[in-house]
Chain A
Amino acid sequence: MNDHANTTDSAIAPASTRRPSRKGLGWIALAIAPIVLSGCQIPGFGINEGVTESSHKVYKLWQGFMVTGLIVGGFTFLLIVYAAIRYRRRNNEIPRQTQYNTLVEVLYTVIPTIIVAGLFYFTIVVENPEVAVIKNPPAKVKVVAFQWGWRFSYPENPKVNIVGQTTENPELIMPVGETIQVDLSSLDVVHGFYIKEFSFSQYAQPGVVNKFDFKVDKVGEFQTQCTQMCGLYHSLMYFKVKTIPASDYHQCLTSSNSGDEFVACANKTTPALYHRNTATQGATVHHG
């Protein structure tokens, strides 16, 4: 078909065909290291820094991975397209039947190994503190998921229980500036506890209690919902996270006689620092 007349000399000469790939691979290795190390001045690639201590690190990790992915993917993409276009059929000659090139083969084994070693290293650096839990957290909340709603209870004050089903959109109140430990479980099937602005999710499972810590650093309101398929009303299993200053949090928590009172108190103490949408539209956080 596409018999484009092309200068066959340059097309098949081995010297010109091998050099670009070697050079390109070298460039990649050079380019990646510093970019992964410094996550600043790089776009967010679809996410933002988040509002917890861990989510800031996750944000950097995401940037590093995206940049690496774009370089590696872009390089491979261009190489595929280049090879397909550059070596399109020109005539009926049989090209040189090269099958092996030890150097190239070693390079495309070793370089990916180095890259993923780097990715794994940074993964561990971010992951370890993210999943670590402290011994005596200053705040605690027990989250129980059920078909199709949530119960938030606070061991600090057993009278405070916040329960809501489907679009009742129960509020999970958390302190800012202080570590809160979440005890997550489920009464029936597997549910997904996900907070986008925390860049975090975890399964709520029957028979398993998962513990994790958040240290929130922004006041705000974050609309979210169950993410793991849990039956008929999965797409309507909402909840909302509200973060308020730690002093207000403890003051409200100890002075309330019910979940409703706690929520009312938390809503009163929170200054209108943030832009608030209607409950069903989600909330937007302003980053300083």
Chain B
Amino acid sequence: MVDTLQPTTEHAHGDDHGHDEHHGASGLLNWLTTTDHKIIGMNYTVTSVVMMLLGGAMAMLIRAQLTVPDGGLVSLAKYNELFTMHGSIMIYLFAGPFAFGGLANYMVPIQIGAPDMAFPRLNALSYWLYLTGSVTMLLGFFTSGGAANFGWVGYAPLSNAVNAPGAGADLWIGALILTGFSAIFTGVNLVATIFYLRAPGMTMFRMPIFTWNMLVTGILILLAFPVLTAGLVMLYCDRHFGTHIYDANGGGSPVLWQHIFWFWGHPEVYILALPFFGMVTEIIPVFSKKPLFGYKGMVFATITIAALSTGVWAHHMFTTGVVLLPFFSFMTYLISIPTGMKFFNWIGSMWGGQVQYTSAMLFAIGFLLTFLIGGITGILLASPPLDFFTHDTYFVVAHFHSVVIALVIGAMAGIFYWYPKMTGRFLNERLGKLQFWLLTLGGLLFVMPGYLVGLRGMPRRMAVYIIDPTWQNLNIWSSIGGFLMGISMLVFAANALKTLKAPKTAGPNPWDGHTLEWFTTSPPPHHNFYSLPNIKSERPTWDYFHPDAPALTHDDHDPSHVPGAVKADAQ
């Protein structure tokens, strides 16, 4: 049954990326010079979670400031820095790097039975660029002018040398260029790894859905990030080398920045979302003891999303008055179809299953519910007449936080699911459930008043709202929700720290998993596998342990089916 492969498959990746590193003494030097995708993945995961905690701490300050109409906690200037850095850290330094640098880096090679990423050294470079970029951005706080203060979107001409003269702005631009290259290299690596390093038998349509999502994410990164990087270089030239690319007075066009930014920015929304879709799509079937419902349809939906995502950017620009409203509205509605379909894949996977409420599964269900709210309000915003009066109000802040909070909840699902694989240890389930309720209910309490206060006219990025103190009540509720989310993160930190001393009890396959990472030890050995099972479907590990319960891959309306009994002769 088991095809025994050599633990290391030299021929699979022609370069000599330091095999001796693991035979030498382990230590700081070893860690600094490693090219092992697992260690790099861990570095990414830990760094990005630290970034999330930092960005979250800033969110706590923002929410504290907004509990009273006249602020008082921080100055107008500091407030602008705070929300700019909160948004920038969360988007550029947490959500993306966590997903494609952290968990994907760790899991994708293992899921396809590969010994490492296709370009291990490039992978190490990605991480160090990311770390350098992150530090660069944060250094802005220590400059005399303070950190960047023009919003995470850096709209021209607010981001030019006249309006944002400080070094903080330059550090922000530099940081985005560094992390941009880091993302591009990771994208190259993911695509190359998935195309070229799959184990024998791992055909494209036997790839785990998380790997599929990461392939599509990788392609989107390659489409989108170079555009942003180029746009940032031009912004830097405007600031320092006397060009007028985004300067209306010099014959340039400020709107051009918005086009470039959102041409990256909307695919980026999917670059952030697809990995988390992938994670929960792994988790739900495993904890329902069923195959993923509509696997192939979901793959096509994901590819469709990626294709359409390059044609919707100007729905962020409906109020500029210079874009073709019906076209971008139409494209946005189109993309909502494959996105919405995924809900039914998730529901269908639970349907008729044995749903087990582990923390990972609870987080996955929490992801579905919060993402649903963000998705539905997104449909409202896709209609220009409705976007006109919600744009730049707290309605939009609530909309995208419904989505990004879903991503944080999804991240937690992924962490609880893969933590035993990455460390050999379990996270505490009770603390996990406590965190789940705090995070999900806190998240709802945070976004719901935001929708309402937005409809009542409260603009975003307001350090003070003395213009209408009647907005205060809703803001207080929202802040309480935000603080609950903050507490949930402390629970998580405590949980993670507690495991450091715990014994390694996880074993290779604690969840009765489907995919190859559950076929190897926890954590996996250098180059990942001592042996591989036969790969005959997208669930090789499941097939190995449940040879009599393969997926029923065609419609089966047999009414005489006896519950519990499974057709072994399907197909």
> Which residues of A line the B interface, CB within 8 A?
1-2, 8-9, 11-15, 17, 21, 45-47, 54, 57-58, 61-62, 65-66, 69, 72-73, 76-77, 79-81, 83-84, 87-91, 93-105, 108-109, 112-113, 116-117, 119-120, 123-124, 126-127, 130-131, 184, 188-190, 192, 194, 196, 198-203, 205-208, 210, 212, 223-236, 238, 280-282
Contacts and interface: CB of A to CB of B under 8 A. Distances in A.
Contacts of A109: 297, 337, 341
B333 A190 contact: no
Interface in B297-355: 297, 319-322, 325-326, 329-330, 333-334, 336-337, 340-341, 343-344, 346-348, 350-355
A12 B352 contact: yes
B559 A201 contact: no
Contact of A206 (B249, B556, B563): B249
A26 B554 CA distance: 24
B459 A192 contact: yes
B550 A97 contact: yes
Contacts of A57: 385
B115 interface: no
A201 B388 contact: yes
B466 A280 contact: yes
B557 interface: yes
B230 interface: no
B379 A65 contact: yes
A224 B563 contact: no
Given A94-B564, A100-B294, 4 more contacts: A14-B352, A104-B348, A113-B337, A282-B468
5 contacts: A80-B372, A89-B357, A97-B566, A131-B325, A225-B467
Given A1-B356, A14-B561, A189 B326 contact: no
Contact of A192 (B292, B392, B551, B552): B392
Give 9 nearest A-B pairs by CB, closest first: A207-B248, A46-B455, A210-B321, A12-B563, A227-B392, A227-B459, A83-B350, A196-B457, A108-B344
Contacts of B384: 123, 127, 131
Contact of B552 (A91, A98, A210): A98
A273 to B, nearest CB: 22
Nearest to B556: A98
Nearest to A124: B326
Interface stretch (B20-28, B151-159, B435-443): B151-159
B319 A202 contact: yes
Contacts of B157: 188-190, 206
A95 B288 CA distance: 9
Given A96-B552, A192-B319, A228-B392, A73 B350 contact: no
Interface of B: 76-77, 80, 150-151, 155, 157-158, 163, 248-249, 253-255, 288-297, 319-322, 325-326, 329-330, 333-334, 336-337, 340-341, 343-344, 346-348, 350-358, 365, 368-369, 372-373, 376-377, 379-380, 382-386, 388-389, 391-393, 451-452, 455-457, 459-470, 546, 549-559, 561, 563-564, 566, 570
The CB with the most chain A CB atoms within 10 A, among B358, B451, B466, is that of: B466
A126 B353 CA distance: 45
Contacts of B391: 192, 201, 227
Contacts of B321: 184, 202-203, 205, 208, 210, 212
Nearest to B151: A229
Given A13-B563, A46-B456, A84-B365, A223 B468 contact: yes
B319 A201 contact: yes
Nearest to A88: B355
Given A112-B340, A232-B80, A98 B333 contact: no
A161 B241 CA distance: 38
A47 B390 CA distance: 11
A280 B471 CA distance: 13
Nearest to B150: A229
A232 B466 contact: no
B551 to A, nearest CB: 4
A194 B389 CA distance: 7
